[in-house]
Structure 1
Amino acid sequence: MDTLPPEIYWNIFMINTERGDEPLTSLTVIAPESDHRLDTARHCSQVCRLWRTLLLQFSSVWGRLLHLQNLEHTTDAWMEVVASRIGEASLWITGYVTDSTRPFIFAILEEKWQNVQVLEIWDESLYSNKVLPTWSFLEREAPNLEEFQLSKNTRNDFERTARRILPFSPLFRNRAPRLKRFTLWEPFHFSLPTPWMANLHSVTFFRPRNGPLVLSALKSMPLLRELYVTGGNTLQPMFPAQDGGFDKPHLPLLESLILDDFYHLMDMIILLESITLAPGQRSLRTLFMPQVYKEDHQRVHRAITKWIYAYMSASPPRHLSLDEYDQVLTIQDIRVIGEGMQVHIAHDDTQSHVTIEAIVASLRYSVVEKLDVVLRDSAPAWPLRPLFEALHSVTRLEADGSYTLFDDILQFSLFPNLHTVNVLNADETMILPTVIHFLEQRVLTGSPISVLYLSSFPFSDASSWFSDTIKERLSKIPDLSVIVPEDSEF
């Protein structure tokens, strides 16, 4: 290994500095935990004289390792060693500020702010009289900053609503030419034009007070891919009027739209209506909207279905969940962490059929293979019939909590390719006869079910509901496999 060029070693050591970031799935502020990246670099520097010599030369390695939780229980001497090794490298500064790490990290921020590439900081003492002035470097230019996130991370909702606005303005003296991700969980002043917004790929607006200004800002973000907005429970709405000739930002590269916690429904609706996408845009892969209240139905449905259609067209789901409770339908596309869709729709009004039809249109070329259905309080399935009919490619059905579903599926001859059924959390004495009748009729219509999962049933008490008649009827269904818990004596 002594013959390897230094560049190979540098690449290996830099790989060990990478963070295991996960994309946001909701607007939740979570402080990071410690990791082992700094320990790995320290241990590598102790392997042999060559490795130590190289690592001490590679300040870029140490500049990425300023994660505060890794320095929380170390000595002042070790922190000084780390600070001496970063040189003039680009800096990644992340983590939760505590009293023990504050002097160390703020000395670096004050001295080397121009070198900071990533700053993701949680500071619960942010607004204290002694701490807030130490953040004044935010008013200086940030020539190398690419990712920025700042949060007080309070769990007290009253304190969140009553907190002050950050006094630093303009941020970065309006110069942060490399900034791609901007997440500030605190209210702040900004005025347009703000040049650093032009290159943003991801932006978070936390409880903004000026909705028209937000829309104007979005107009200056043509490269935006991720947009997160939380409305909050402030008394004053973001938009003072429902129709005010607001700007219509065009976001042709948008991949992720996450809206959360809107006390004023119309604020969310105006945002949904105002943002425009490119015709046939196929980039949207994450869509999250909170439950909307039952008012101004026609406008609500029109705004929401526009986005559902855009998502379904861009990211056809393979695993779809439909959850109906108290006349609110939750549609969820279950995917990897950080991607997917979750939308809540009230469907008790005269416009609900328009929403269902719009969703059906977006599923015209359905590729959904697995469908989870939750009908709470034994709600009937027939209002969702057009949606079920569009899901012709479903092969696996998971039904949770309703025996009426199987009556409706049978009545309308839905899911012609269905071969596997999983029944969860139901009243066994009521649902089993219905399910068995469904299985028997599927055989008669030439579309038999081959696998029935009863793995969630309480088989410790199976004798009380699994009668000889039930077992005999199941045994007569050809080529049917019934899956029960592995520890069951049944």
Structure 2
Amino acid sequence: MASIHKLHTDILWSIFTFNTGPPLTSTSSRNIENCLRPLTVTRQSSQVCRSWRQILLQSSSLWGRLIDLNQLGQKNRLWADEVVRRSGFALLWIYGDMHPQGSMEANEDFFFSVLDRIERIQILEVEVQDGVDHNDQGWDILLRPAPCLQFFKLSYSQPLLQNSQRPIFANRAPSLLSFDTHQVPFAIDAPWLSHIRDIRFPLEFTIRQVLELCCRMPHLETFHPSDSFDINMVFIEPLPRMHLPFLSSIQLTTGLVNALTFLDHITPAPGCSLSLHTNDGIRVTAHVTPRMLETAPSILSRRMVDYFSYHAPTRIRVEFTPVALSFLDVSYRPDDSDCKFVIQLSPWYARNRTGHVLLSQAFLFPPASLACLVSVKEVELFLYDIHPTMYPGLRSILQACHSVNKIAISFDSISYLTGIETLSDRILYSCLQNLSDRIIFPHLQTLQVDLDKGYNHEVIDMAKFLRFLKKYRDNGSPLSLLKLTDYQEEDPLNIDALNEMADLTVQWMSGEEVVESVGGRRT
């Protein structure tokens, strides 16, 4: 007898249970091969031998975890109903894509039939495909109590239950920990909010309502609103301030006014991640006031200092382009993949120079706050079509990265970086004794240049880098490596101007070969 057949029943049951979870997300459910899907694995396990089949058929809780909409529907409705029957009265995990009737993968009827067991549903993570009727009476099931529901995620392009006079889950979802949908409305005084750990909410809330909502969620861990919440600049009464001791991740996509107001009124857990994306449309340009921009650096830097105090940065990315002004932590964190710090501010018009310059003031961080960047070893820098008035803010950020030994830069960015260095000269030359302080990166050794910009086979002339390289050489800090990436062989490359940099290694790929040149001589 094979060794596996000698395993105790409890061990086998634990293995079978392990194979049923965790539930697949909508994305992973689409990408995973059928042979590896929990439902397929469980079904095949039940066909190995009589004893395994007996264990599995007696385990209704296992079958309740296998309501995979990407495998169950109209094509195999008998099997779908059999899986539900085998679940008995156990808790249900429902996940996958919901497709409308008449489609190749139709499972709408089956979905509503299992949704009708809402009192048993523990996890519901479903992406509704276009074509499903958002007015179908089946959605009214969500207005019934859901006593066992812990995780609720419903993605759909259409609003649901907008005209209902009854509250979602009849206000009775005492086990709910995660609410992730922007199409189902709920009241900010819903009793189940007191247990919520993670939330995504509808986009019609005002900033005051958002803050009041947070007050009702003392255990909140992740705050990820799905879209811009409404502007409400008339604050008749002071907005509430609150401490959210468990809040470890904030993702905001809204106007700058709302974002700053929200961040200024909360105190999250130490080291809280922040992903901020603003895109102020023409309708709110009047709200981007000088006073607001004066407070932006202190509010944003407060979050930056707190985050980097617990997650020391080793690599950052700075992007100033007409599309957006961005500051990102891109440090390699294999054990902390959820940690992130992103500030991305988009002007109301990509080519609106005034808005572009105004938003750059948000990056004029207080000098003391920039000490948290001292551990940065690598900077990714992408600058394009920026005004010299933006240089001071950029210079202060880059100078704080005192330990940088490598810069990754786009080909077009070097002229702006040289301009920032020149600005540094004008301001600092008269008062500095140490010549190395006249350069921004005194420990810089490697300059990596991205050439993939589509030059239509024009000559790529590296002469524009010479001024920058000579400045570092003349200040006693010569670079050792100029690495050219994304070079296309059909593009002529002119590095003759770099020949006078006798000790500089220029490196690029030619086909599969690494080519190096030192002082104009190939090695």
TM-score, normalising length: structure 1: 0.82
Where does residue 447 of structure 2 map in the other structure?
A: 421
- Please list the CA deviations of residues 181-204 of structure 1 after superposition, one character each: whole Å capped at 9, or x if unmatched: 111221514152x22111111011
State how far apart, in whole Å, the 2-side matches of 1:216 and 1:334 are.
Answer: 33
Q: Which residue identity is paired with 1:394?
A: V
Q: Which residue among 398, 402, 407 is the counterpart of 1:397? A: 407
Where does residue 157 of structure 1 map in the other structure?
A: none
Q: Which residue identity is paired with 2:440?
A: L
Q: Which residue among 138, 143, 147 is the counterpart of 2:142? A: 138
Where does residue 90 of structure 2 map in the other structure?
A: 89
Where does residue 342 of structure 1 map in the other structure?
A: 342
Q: Which residue among 181, 199, 202 is the counterpart of 1:203? A: 199
Where does residue 466 of structure 1 map in the other structure?
A: 495
- Please list the CA deviations of residues 78-108 of structure 1 after superposition, one character each: whole Å capped at 9, or x if unmatched: 1122112112222111122222322223222
C-alpha displacement of 1:242: 4.2
Identity of aligned residues (%): 24
Where does residue 25 of structure 1 map in the other structure?
A: none
C-alpha displacement of 1:379: 5.6
- Please list the CA deviations of residues 101-151 of structure 1 after superposition, one character each: whole Å capped at 9, or x if unmatched: 2222322222x322211012233466544x2x2233323322211101223
State how far apart, in whole Å, the 2-side matches of 1:55 and 1:352 are.
Answer: 61
Structure 1: unaligned runs, 5 residues or longer: 23-28, 155-159
In 2 relative to 1, CA 16–487 (structure 1 residues): closer, same or farther, beyond 3 Å? same
In 2 relative to 1, CA 232–291 (structure 1 residues): closer, same or farther, beyond 3 Å? closer
**Are the aligned partners of 2:445 and 2:478 in contact in 1 as well (CA < 8 Å)?**
yes
Where does residue 276 of structure 2 map in the other structure?
A: 288
C-alpha displacement of 1:216: 1.7
**Are the aligned partners of 1:291 and 1:343 in contact in 2 as well (CA < 8 Å)?**
no
Where does residue 222 of structure 1 map in the other structure?
A: 218
Q: Which residue among 473, 476, 483 is the counterpart of 2:508? A: 483
Q: Which residue identity is paired with 1:15?
A: F
State how far apart, in whole Å, the 2-side matches of 1:203 and 1:258 are.
Answer: 11
Where does residue 16 of structure 2 map in the other structure?
A: 13
Where does residue 107 of structure 1 map in the other structure?
A: 113
Q: Which residue among 180, 187, 190 is the counterpart of 2:187? A: 190
- Please list the CA deviations of residues 146-197 of structure 1 after superposition, one character each: whole Å capped at 9, or x if unmatched: 101223235xxxxx6xx761526322232222211111221514152x2211
Q: Which residue identity is paired with 1:438?
A: F
Matched, 1:177 2:174: yes
**Are the aligned partners of 1:329 and 1:344 in contact in 2 as well (CA < 8 Å)?**
yes
Output aligned runs, 1:336-375, within 5 Å: 338-345=338-345, 355-358=363-366, 361-364=369-372, 366-375=374-383
Matched, 1:259 2:252: yes
Q: Which residue identity is paired with 1:271?
A: F
C-alpha displacement of 1:211: 3.9
**Are the aligned partners of 1:273 and 1:303 in contact in 2 as well (CA < 8 Å)?**
yes
**Are the aligned partners of 2:73 and 2:110 in contact in 1 as well (CA < 8 Å)?**
no
**Are the aligned partners of 1:66 and 1:91 in contact in 2 as well (CA < 8 Å)?**
yes
Q: Which residue identity is paired with 1:114?
A: E
**Are the aligned partners of 2:312 and 2:372 in contact in 1 as well (CA < 8 Å)?**
no
State how far apart, in whole Å, the 2-side matches of 1:448 and 1:79 are.
Answer: 69
Matched, 1:247 2:237: no
In 2 relative to 1, CA 180–197 (structure 1 residues): closer, same or farther, beyond 3 Å? same
In 2 relative to 1, CA 435–34 (structure 1 residues): closer, same or farther, beyond 3 Å? closer
Q: Which residue identity is paired with 1:299?
A: M
C-alpha displacement of 1:310: 3.4
Figure out how many residues of one structure are paired with residues of the other and give that number.
Answer: 460
Which structure has more relative contact order (CA 8 Å, sep 6+)? It is 1
**Are the aligned partners of 2:179 and 2:199 in contact in 1 as well (CA < 8 Å)?**
yes
Q: Which residue identity is paired with 1:102?
A: E
Where does residue 318 of structure 2 map in the other structure?
A: 322
- Please list the CA deviations of residues 291-327 of structure 1 after superposition, one character each: whole Å capped at 9, or x if unmatched: 4476214324154444334333343332211011249
State how far apart, in whole Å, the 2-side matches of 1:126 and 1:249 are.
Answer: 40
Q: Which residue identity is paired with 2:121?
A: V
- Please list the CA deviations of residues 362-412 of structure 1 after superposition, one character each: whole Å capped at 9, or x if unmatched: 443532222111110376584211111111122221111222214644854
State how far apart, in whole Å, the 2-side matches of 1:473 and 1:245 are.
Answer: 64
TM-score, normalising length: structure 2: 0.77
In 2 relative to 1, CA 454–134 (structure 1 residues): closer, same or farther, beyond 3 Å? same
Query: More deviation in 90-99 or 301-310?
Result: 301-310
C-alpha displacement of 1:353: 5.8
Where does residue 30 of structure 2 map in the other structure?
A: 33
C-alpha displacement of 1:58: 2.1
Structure 2: unaligned runs, 5 residues or longer: 348-354, 426-437, 516-523
**Are the aligned partners of 2:179 and 2:200 in contact in 1 as well (CA < 8 Å)?**
yes
In 2 relative to 1, CA 413–466 (structure 1 residues): closer, same or farther, beyond 3 Å? closer
Q: Which residue identity is paired with 1:482?
A: Q
Q: Which residue identity is paired with 2:443?
A: N
